[in-house]
Structure 1
């Protein structure tokens, strides 16, 4: 996974109002700001006994589409699209620029074909004359799909080279691919396997992750004689799902917290509370990483935001460099099972289970993994006894008082989510609004005029990269469902898997590998629909299946050689990847024990949802 393209919500570069992306920044940032304001108005209207805004929820869903495509176009222009590999750096130097041009040409060709498919979808929708809010033609909003893909095509070709000759060569190559796709020289089904091999090559050379996924969907649909317009149909259906606006809203809350001084205040608090006893820094590291990952939705933000702050803390407590590196890298993925983390929300959307039930199901397993990490860290800290600062009650009180607003953020998010007075989207909007007030009005780490557009734009860019992958991945999933792949897999499991426990053991191994090589959001959208029928066949609770699915992907972040946390920790802490991989092996074994407990003790996952259903 491309470490530099991960959700790096820290060190955001300032916006440049004079550049040609400024209009997209305004559109995307304005749409995201409206997504916060509209649910807040709805909450206020209900509290006052007013009817609220008619169609507000539908408008927020379609604003998510605008945010997603604006962010994808911005990410393409800035080279921030999520990729499997950062570049073709393994090639000799003289071949790297050619590989760069090749990947951009192939990516542009796939993106242009997605634009064509989207244009066909919009043309059909225009004929239906559907309206948004009873007055706006729906196809106007849906037109952001082909427009966004067209902008991305141009920017991919522009970034193919710094010289016009290289750009023109990439354009010519992309046109050849498009012509072969639209007017194939042979039977369409004969192009499927060669095309899939070509897409795998592009992914290896650094093409954005949506390219092999979307390209595979295009090839399979065309090879099967099915309309490629089904891909943008699924993209549109996913992005306008009633629960999906929670993802950009919680992302915005995480960006606001990461860009403000929250990390600094929380590290100071943890040092004051637990830094005075041996193993205390490990407790602080595990709790802070889990807190940050749950809020921001990605371990990438956690390592980038906290790595530089926590590494000196661990080293000053006499942790060896290897132990400190392993602990910090492993703890970076903690919190993925805890509310309001985004992968849990996405699984609930794809599996069609309650978001609140998923959060309840993930609470005990998430705390279990944190507890195991703390236990290992405390035991390791006991071997590295050094001079520690005695506990100071006055300093602890000051640290708590300084960080009180950040500590209240989970209370605000979960209180709104579980109160029954707000939908998940409204709870996410409340969380984002609270984070904005804390960082701009209370602490004043961010200035609403100088910093707000920058943070909104970064949130839009991050969301765009995620939703782009999700949209094309759902198109690929749709094809697999059309050819009845889930039913075939369920039938195979019924015949060859003697019991659920053997199936779960095999699933653990497969998902850990998947988590190490596939972006988590794409893995959820593609793999979950395949697993659900098998799980039903074996009598697995969908909440239990979801939590063990996410727990295994979380463990996959640590898998050598390309686990996301390994790459990010090595990059952030300036360590070789091999050294980081060796350092994290003890943590990998500890967390694997936790995953086995989650897998084979279903009550850890199902007890709380069942309790609250009574």
Structure 2
């Protein structure tokens, strides 16, 4: 029941992020009225989607980690290492939940509203709720039986109670806690444990309010540009599920596949195009790899060169607008996203050209007979992929018009 509710809430948050701005545009164009605070609502839905997504990742045991050392352990050491890493993560999650509760209570006392009387603290409530779900699920995975799970929760509750009571944390204790967090990171604890845990214990030792950490998290997530990231990821999912990879490969194969090295050029262009909108090279490789790998092998490329070209080409679109790396850098560096997009065009095209040139240089000279250019097939492929090919002009018009 909880799993279904989480999935529905996450889908609703993503749908609201995508539909609210569209509804605002249509209402203003047709009825000359708008939605008050639509940007703020969209930003808070991004916060909800992020926290629910993290909770779902914890449920599926797919939280990112910096190490996979725990998977290499066997025998008695494996459950001990798992209990240690999960317990450290549970402690950090409990502290982040406590800090988020303090933030929500402070915001509730302030009385700020988003729009239509909806308070800001209601949107911020996604923080403690999300961290609570993550903490409980990490505790559940701390061991196969209740003793390990309860022990993990008890340790987390004790540390959280000490933090809530404002007990001082000396420098020696803070250094020890940071070292424990780093050891847990080496053994495979989630990334948020390392980043959040180090910050929490250092803030605590300096007597600073730990609510500052979720406050910074909140300010970063409600950045006006950040909703672009989940929306681009959602767009990439729809493109992949809608058959866009097949149509794009058909277009580039019809235009360039007949020349020597054409398979490499098709691979580079298709991957660069798709990654610029999906935002993730892994998604591109999964969506296109099953079609491009046989294409490269049939063109005479060795398996080593084909794998290298496909893997490298999967990340080329990150420099081309509207690539997500450009969005993230613009947010962190606090520069204009439009300027970042313009600045990324030439370097991105240069990368595409260089990788295509490398693929051309590795093409077998006489393995496959070149075929003649087929105008009819090129026209049919362009018509079939007209909506996918319209994405870059639409994006540019929306950003720069």
TM-score with structure 1 length normalisation? 0.62
The corresponding residue for 1:78 is 60
Which SS does the other structure have where 1:153 is aligned?
helix
CA distance in 2 between counterparts of 1:202 and 1:391 reads 58
Alpha-carbon offset, residue 215 of structure 1? 0.5
The corresponding residue for 2:350 is 368
Alpha-carbon offset, residue 227 of structure 1? 0.9
The corresponding residue for 1:188 is 170
Query: Aligned ranges for residues 525-536 of structure 1 at < 5 Å?
Result: none
Which SS does the other structure have where 1:132 is aligned?
strand
Alpha-carbon offset, residue 273 of structure 1? 2.1
* Corresponding position: 1:277 with 2:259: yes
Check the 8 A contact 2:98/2:164 in 1, yes or no. Answer: no
The 1:176/1:28 distance shift into structure 2, 3 A limit, reads same
Which SS does the other structure have where 1:336 is aligned?
helix
CA distance in 1 between counterparts of 2:85 and 2:286 reads 28
Alpha-carbon offset, residue 191 of structure 1? 2.3
1:326-382: CA deviation from partner (whole Å, max 9, x where unpaired): 111111211111111122112212222111110000000000011100111101114
1:257-293: CA deviation from partner (whole Å, max 9, x where unpaired): 1222111222222222222121111111111111111
The corresponding residue for 2:208 is 226
The 1:187/1:73 distance shift into structure 2, 3 A limit, reads closer
Greater mean deviation of Cα atoms: 266-275 or 203-212: 266-275
Aligned length: 401
Gaps of 5+ in 1: 1-18, 420-614
Alpha-carbon offset, residue 134 of structure 1? 4.6
Alpha-carbon offset, residue 56 of structure 1? 1.5
1:210-246: CA deviation from partner (whole Å, max 9, x where unpaired): 1100111101111222111100111111111122222
Gaps of 5+ in 2: none
Alpha-carbon offset, residue 187 of structure 1? 4.4
The 1:177/1:88 distance shift into structure 2, 3 A limit, reads farther
The corresponding residue for 1:31 is 13
Report the RMSD for the aligned CA atoms in angstroms. Answer: 2.1
The corresponding residue for 2:29 is 47
CA distance in 2 between counterparts of 1:262 and 1:85 reads 34
Check the 8 A contact 1:73/1:151 in 2, yes or no. Answer: yes
The 1:408/1:86 distance shift into structure 2, 3 A limit, reads farther
The 1:87/1:326 distance shift into structure 2, 3 A limit, reads same
1:487-530: CA deviation from partner (whole Å, max 9, x where unpaired): xxxxxxxxxxxxxxxxxxxxxxxxxxxxxxxxxxxxxxxxxxxx
CA distance in 1 between counterparts of 2:387 and 2:135 reads 43
Alpha-carbon offset, residue 173 of structure 1? 4.5
Check the 8 A contact 1:130/1:137 in 2, yes or no. Answer: yes
1:410-441: CA deviation from partner (whole Å, max 9, x where unpaired): 2222221222xxxxxxxxxxxxxxxxxxxxxx
* Corresponding position: 1:314 with 2:267: no
The corresponding residue for 2:329 is 347
CA distance in 2 between counterparts of 1:30 and 1:382 reads 50
Residue 281 of structure 2, aligned match among 299, 322, 325: 299
Residue 406 of structure 1, aligned match among 378, 381, 388: 388
CA distance in 1 between counterparts of 2:198 and 2:180 reads 10
The corresponding residue for 1:386 is 368
| Higher RCO (C-alpha under 8 Å, 6+ residues apart) | 1
The corresponding residue for 1:208 is 190
Bigger-Rg structure (1/2): 2
Check the 8 A contact 1:281/1:313 in 2, yes or no. Answer: yes
CA distance in 2 between counterparts of 1:229 and 1:174 reads 17
The 1:31/1:277 distance shift into structure 2, 3 A limit, reads same
